[in-house]
Amino acid sequence: MVDYKTLIFTCTGNTCRSPMAEAIYKNLDKVSDRKVLSRGLVVLFNEPINPKAETVLNMHELELNNHIAKGLKSSDIDGQTLILTMTESQKKKVLQDFPEVEDVYTIKEFAGEIGDVVDPYGGTLVDYEECFTELARLVKKTFYKLNSDN
Catalytic positions, written as ranges: 11, 17, 119
Burial class (CB in 10 A: 0-12, 13-18, 19+), 68: middle
Three-state SS for 20-80 is HHHHHHHHHCCCCCCEEEEEECCCCCCCECCHHHHHHHHHCCCCCCCCECCECCHHHCCCC
